[in-house]
C-alpha cells in the first residue's frame, strides 16, 4: 500500500487529487498529515483540529464504482469501515449519524468527506477524506465534539488506527458492487437515532419524526407524526442532537 506521510499540508484531499492528476496514482494510495492548514469538512465547512493529535488522511479509490449510481454505496462502505476498525480496537458504542458522521455515544469524533470525479469513460474516481479525533482532549466551545482519548481515557497510536481503517476499507470496498445490501444492512444497524423519535430541522422549522432508514441513493427516510413516510436529501434536512 502506498502511504505518503506529510507534516503540514493544506488538505490531504486536495493534495491527493493534485498528485493523482499530475501522475495517475494507484488504487488505495493514502496521504496522511500531522496537520492540515485548510482542512475541509462537509458542505463547505472547515475541519480544524489540534496539530499532531488527530488522524487526518485521504485514500484514493479508483476502478471500483462503474457509474454515479454507486456513490452512496462507497459512502456506506467507508463509514462502516471506520466503525468496524474502531470496534476491532475495543472501542464500543461507535455509531454513524446520517450520512457519515462518526459518533461515540452522541458526540462527534469523526467525519468523512468524499470527493468524486467522473472520468471521460464514465467511471468514478473518489478521494475519501477521513478526520478522526484521536488524542485531542480539549474541544473548547464545541460541546458536541469528542475524541477516542476522551471516551476511553487512554491515548492511542494514530498509525495503528489508520491501518485498521485502511484494512477494513480494503475488505469492504470489495462489497460495494457485489454485496451493497450487506453493507447497507450493517450501516442501518449502526445508524444513530434509528427507530426512535428525533427532532429535525427543515427550512427553519422543527418537527419530530422517526428515522426508518436510508434509501439506496442515500436519502434519509422519516416516518412523520401523521404516519406519512418521506425521503430527504442531505441539503434538505438536519437531524438535531
Ligand atoms: C465532516 O465535515 O464531518 C467531514 C470532515 C472530513 C475531514 C477530513 S480530514 C482529512 C481530509 N482532508 C480534508 O481536508 N478533509 C478530510
Q: Delineate the domains of the chain, giving CATH numbers in brackets.
A: 3-189 (3.30.930.10), 197-240 (2.30.30.100)
Contacts of residue 167, defined as CB under 8 A and 6 or more positions apart, other chains included, come to: 85
How high is the ipTM of this complex?
0.99
* Residue whose CA is at the smallest distance from ligand 1 atom 3: 111
> Cα(32) to centroid of ligand 1, in Å?
12
Residues in the chain: 241
**47 CB under 6 A from ligand 1?**
yes
CA 80 to chain centre: 9
**75 CB under 6 A from ligand 1?**
no
**Mean model confidence pLDDT for the chain:** 95
Nearest-atom number in ligand 1 for the CA of 12 is 12
**54 CB under 6 A from ligand 1?**
no
Contacts of residue 69, defined as CB under 8 A and 6 or more positions apart, other chains included, come to: none
Inform me whether the pLDDT recorded for 107 exceeds 90: yes
Q: Express each pLDDT in 35-61 by its tens digit.
A: 999 999 999 999 999 999 999 999 999
**131 CB under 6 A from ligand 1?**
yes
**Which residues does residue 115 pair with via DSSP β-bridges, in sequence order?**
127
pLDDT for position 2: 96
**36 CB under 6 A from ligand 1?**
yes
Number of H-type helices and E-type strands within the chain:
6, 12
> Cα(22) to centroid of ligand 1, in Å?
22
Amino acid at each position: 500500500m502506498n502511504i505518503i506521510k506529510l507534516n503540514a499540508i493544506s488538505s490531504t484531499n486536495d493534495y491527493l487529487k493534485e498528485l493523482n492528476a499530475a501522475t495517475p496514482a494507484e488504487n488505495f494510495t493514502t496521504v496522511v498529515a500531522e496537520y492540515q492548514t485548510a482542512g475541509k469538512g462537509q458542505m463547505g465547512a472547515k475541519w480544524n483540529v489540534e496539530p499532531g493529535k488527530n488522524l487526518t488522511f485521504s485514500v484514493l479509490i479508483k476502478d471500483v464504482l462503474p457509474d454515479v449510481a454507486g456513490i452512496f454505496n462507497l459512502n456506506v462502505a467507508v463509514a462502516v469501515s471506520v466503525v468496524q476498525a474502531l470496534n476491532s480496537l475495543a472501542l464500543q458504542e461507535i455509531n454513524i449519524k446520517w450520512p457519515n458522521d462518526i459518533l461515540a455515544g452522541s458526540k462527534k469524533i469523526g467525519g468523512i468527506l468524499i470527493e468524486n470525479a467522473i472520468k471521460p469513460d464514465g467511471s468514478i474516481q473518489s478521494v475519501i477524506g477521513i478526520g478522526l479525533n484521536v488524542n485531542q482532549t480539549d474541544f473548547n466551545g464545541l460541546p458536541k465534539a469528542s475524541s477516542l482519548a476522551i471516551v476511553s481515557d487512554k491515548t492511542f497510536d494514530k498509525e495503528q488506527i489508520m491501518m485498521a481503517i485502511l484494512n477494513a476499507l480494503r475488505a469492504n470496498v470489495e462489497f460495494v458492487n457485489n454485496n451493497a445490501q450487506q453493507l447497507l444492512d450493517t450501516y442501518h444497524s449502526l445508524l444513530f437515532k434509528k427507530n426512535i423519535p428525533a427532532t429535525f430541522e427543515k427550512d427553519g422549522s422543527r418537527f419530530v419524526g422517526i428515522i426508518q432508514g436510508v434509501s439506496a441513493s442515500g436519502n434519509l427516510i422519516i416516518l412523520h407524526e401523521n404516519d406519512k413516510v418521506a425521503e430527504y436529501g442531505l441539503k434538505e434536512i438536519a437531524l438535531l442532537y
